[in-house]
Amino acid sequence: MSKITLEEKKIILYFSEGFYEPRNNDYLAVEGKGIISIEGSDLEFCTVYLFDSVGNSGQFSGEKYRLDAFIHEFPHMDFEIIDETYGYNQSKFSGYIYEGDKMKECTVDIYHFGNMKYIVEK
């Protein structure tokens, strides 16, 4: 993910390298730039967790942001999404964010009532 923007009650996630689509027990690159449009978001319950270290166990430290504050502090980013989780009115994106030569774990939690659309701009 390269950028997140807010438009009224819609959150837009931008992907400079597009998406990968699961097909026949494999993942195929979808050509074109991709975005995810998430409608009906409630910013009071949208958060980002940015952890200072990378690892599977042990103590950790980091920072919790409101999504709008995170967008202000990180207007452009290099966020590699490793896992997506969906549940009752919630979407989570977990992976690694790169800041120069530093890598941190990151989780973006989005609470929403509307549709989530994957859009490819060819």
Q: Pick 121 or 4 by higher pLDDT.
A: 4
Whether the CB-CB separation of 96 and 104 falls below 8 Å is answered with: yes
Note the pLDDT of residue 121: 77
Does the model's pTM come out above 0.75?
yes
Angle at 85 between CA 82 and CA 88, to 5 degrees: 165
Q: Give the DSSP H or E segment for 79.
A: strand 79-87
Q: How far apart are CA 51 and CA 54, in angstroms?
A: 7
Residue 84: both structure tokens together: 């997506």
pLDDT digits (tens, 9 = 90+) for 55-99: 777 778 899 999 999 999 999 999 999 999 999 899 999 999 998
Radius of gyration, alpha carbons of the chain: 15
State the average pLDDT over residues 99-117: 93
pLDDT at residue 122 is higher than 80:
no
Give which of 23, 3, 21 is closest to 12, Cα–Cα. 3
Mean pLDDT, rounded, of the chain: 90
pLDDT at residue 17 is higher than 80:
no
Range scoring the smallest mean pLDDT among 30-34, 36-40, 89-93, 100-104: 30-34
Whether the CB-CB separation of 84 and 92 falls below 8 Å is answered with: yes
Residue 40: both structure tokens together: 């009906």
Note the pLDDT of residue 95: 94
